[in-house]
Structure 1
Amino acid sequence: MDHSTNQSAPTSKLDFLQKIYLSAGQISWQMWAIGLILVSGTVGFTATSMLLKLPKSPQCVRIFWPIASASMRIYCAQMEAEQGTVDSYLRAINLVEALPEDHPLRKEINRNVEEWAVAILDMAEEEFQKGKLEAAIKTARRIPDYVQVYQVVEERIEKWRSVWREGEDIFAQVEKELRESNWNLAFREAVKLLSLSNKYWASTKYDETVKQIQLAQEDSSQLDSAYQILRRGGLDNWLKAIADAEKIPQTSYAHQEAQKLIASAKEKIVDYVDELIDDRRWDTLSDVVNRLPDSLPLQEEISDWKIFASAGMDAQTGTTDSLQVAITAVQEIKADRPLHQKAQDLIGRWKLEIEDVAHLQEARNLATGGSIDDLNAAIASAELIPSNNPRYQEARQEIGQWTNTIQLTEDQPILDQARDLARGGDVSELRQAINQAQLIGPNRALSGEAQEDIQRWRASIQRQEDQPILDQANSLGNVGEYDAAIQAAQRINRGRVLYTEAQTKIDQWRKETRAQRDLQEAYLIAQGKTPQALVSAISVVRKIPSSTDVSSQGQQALNRWSYQLLSMAQDMANRSLLLQAIDLAKMIPGDSAAYSSAQAQLEIWKKLLQPPSPPSIHPSPSSEVNPLMETNYAEPRSN
């Protein structure tokens, strides 16, 4: 209620009366009466307004409203409204709306009612902004339909619902992109929440959505790492991948993919266990089963695998009784179990083993004698086991061991005698040792050792035969008779123990021969003493390898001819043939002693070719020096 307007009303009316008095000069008794009425009315209105501002009084809760005065209703309504709740505003409205429409304060009452209705709508708006849509609608619809504000309630509610639907549509699209692992598109959709005219969607829900995207990305990254571990293979990696995938909660958008990974790891574990059973690796199977987590959906299979592992270890003992115990244990796996067929296959396998265990045990008993006759008898007994019997491979292994023992017994004296013959070390004794060792045929237990000894003795024979030839060739090469040295070394044929060493020497001697030929050719070319001849000679001598004996002579020749080229270039420069001098100096190689001098001279000649600078207004006197005369190069004395 605007009290300032009401309090100023008496002052305005007195000013009006004073103006009338000053203009007319006198006031009739009728005018005085009108003035007194206005003044008294104003005072009464002002008193009523001040009454509305009185402090809260406990009287309001004890009033019998049907006989309450209008001023008391207005006063108590104001007290209710000051509590600032929806219920208090509604009670305030109800109190003042009981007054008649023609009440003198109806205009002020209506204004307060509208303000209280607006306050209720504002509180509903706050609920909407906090994300309480239904509560906001319920609050807004509590506004009485006879107040003016009620006209915008449904419009406001429809606006709220429109904003809410838009937020839900955006969030649904975010979830769709998250399920498809489109993180960037999901975030792009989430940003649209910021433009909604609702604090809940634009702040709280947006923050939740961004956090969900981040968590989904983290879960996806964790799942990618789990897939990498899964692809490495091996039980440890499979179990690690399962453990990582199980960390992803059901609320995560990556949960479904995590379950696929666990299923894939489960299939790999099942295949691996099947291989262990087929290979009868019972100890490994027992270790694997004990490491499998309880969360893995393989409880029935794990129970059967434990029975297999225990029965298999019994069957490994290899006796009739142990095999029968294994069969009895596996028979506990009934037809309704997932591994019933695998159990039946094992039972059939072990029954076949029982049939021939007696033959294999008899063979082992015969082999304990250790003589060649005993071992041959054991082999004959073990060969009675047919190839379709599960114990066939085991029998073949035993037969191989007994055969190996027989061969060792028969061939060891032969190899020992050959080694005794080879101890002398001369060619004749080594040949006798080779003949003796060759009595051990291929695929025998000692054939590998015999062949190694034979190769070593043959190498010793070849070295004794060829070393004098190589020594003779080295002697010839050391005195520079390279062709003769090459011919001597070529007598050592391919496949001989010293052949590689001889070929290395031959390559070096051929390199020396070429180097000498190149040096002589360079000397002949340089005799022309022209720039072109010297350049050609330098080109030839630079081909001489530094590892050859004549490389030092070649370097000396290169330095000497390079200085001669530099001297020729200087002569050309002195005859004002600077371009020709520069071209010639550029041909001096970088590995020659004259190179640095040539480069310095090139800089001087290039500067002389540059156009002269314009003369200065006040030139200072100076003596001109011919750069060509500053350096005097003398050809070094030849060694």
Structure 2
Amino acid sequence: MTSTSTNSQSATDSVKPRRRRAGWLWPILWLSLLVGSSTLGIWALAWMTRIPPLPDCQKISNFSADSDRLYCAKADVESGSAEDLVAAIQLSSQWESDHPLYKDAQKQLNRWSEALFEKAQQRMQQGELEEAIALVQQIPEQTTAHAAVDDAIASWQAEWQQGEEIAARVEADIQANDWEAARKSLQDLKLLKSDYWLAQRHQALSQKIQREQTAIERLEAARDIARYGDIESVTEALLLARESDPQTQAWAETQAAIDDWSEVLLQHSYRKWEQEDIDGAMAVIQKVPVDVAKSSEAQDLIDFAQAKRLTDQMEHSWVPTYGKMLNLVEAVQAVQDIPASSPFYEEAQTSARTWMQKLEDLQKLYFAGLIAQFGQKPAYRLAIEQAAQITTERPQRIQAQTLISHWHKEIERIEDRPYLARANRLAASEDKAGFEAAIAEASKVELGRALRIEAQTKIAEWTKRVQIIEDQPIINRAVALAQEDKLRDAVAEANKIESDRALYDKAQKLASGWTRQIQIAEDQPILRRAESLAARGRLSDAIAVASRIGPGRALYGEARSAIAIWDNERQAIWEAQQPVYEEDVYYEDEYYYE
């Protein structure tokens, strides 16, 4: 019985959890359905209200939808370019009134037409008349801006024609060299409205007047100089004329004058050549511009002069360079073009042989210089050996000897630099022993060596420092004596420093000051006594007492000033004490009366 009741209880307990789970399942199912339907509704709403994708204006074409083309036209005109405005206008103006986009397009069309009209005006202000007219002609008739198109074109064309006429008058005045009339005509451009005529063309014409006037005045000045006919005057005239602007109208006349003056110089050069004054001929021909020769002989002489000019450029420095060798090569090539029939052929060939020898020497010296750049003793010795191959009869012998001397000096610097380095280290101790040791070390640099002057400068500096160390105690003792009012002893002590010592000037300055104090102390009572006598009216006695202060004494100047004052006072007293003889006056009057 007990067993049966137990089994029944167990069955009942197992049924209760199943019922409990069934109660939870339905709410969960309904909640899932609610969430799912809500999500689906939100997605549908988002899909229905989403913004459609924008068209890709880079891929737009005539086959694209009209709405896409209008959208891209609106986007393009934001750039502000005239071309985009024209394209947008052409697109929107082709739609009829029954087109779905017609109203929207018409609103944009008026705005774009006004913007295009402004662009055309800007082009006109910049002097682009044809472009400006072409732009306004793109404005459709149905727009509000089209009403002003014809008037604008007529106004622009009239102003342009007026500006061209004024510019033509200015050009004619310039051609006639009438600068005053040209500037007067130029002022008429100020009556126009376009920035192109008011600013650009006005400035350009004004500058042209100035350039042409300057060119003519420079040409006239050159002609005045060239009238003297001598080489210097003609050369100066050539240089002045060649400063003119080749773009001016006066350049043709200037070029003709340059040709004439160049021919004058060529004739001078020929005469010097015939007189066997080769250097003189070369000097004159080098003044002739290379591009003005006419005859073959003149060209030969100019080529020869140009070659010589190249070789002369290498005479200003003893350092061999690649550029100098290149100049020699160009010079040799220049004279080799002179034909054997030329009167300058023999001289040119002689110069070419000399230049070839110079080139050979320069190559050796240049190679030696490259070796010397290593900066070591073996490199300098090798460079010297290389340069020594240039013998005495070679044209670059002096340059070779100069370089050899320079490299010998560099070797000496390498050898003697350690002496100065050790001397500087010894002197760094800043004491007498260190300075003396530094002097001894620097003295090892012998006379005639590259660092001899530097060594002697250091020796003089350190010798001065030693003297200061030795003589400073004397100065100190003298100052101490002076502070004890033993001025004579202080002067005697300072005078112990001899004239060739570093502190001599300082010692003499101190001694002079103390000597002055001594003299003042000695002579002040004398001057005071003289002043006392003068105050009592004994001027002669005062002068006698003050005269005891001799020249060179500290109070001598003050004493002499006082003596001068007292002497003047005494003289005034004497003059006042002299009697006046009135009888003489009466006798004179009586005599005159008779």
Q: Which of the five TM-score ranges fits, normalised by the shorter chain?
A: 0.3 to 0.5
Structure showing greater Rg = 1
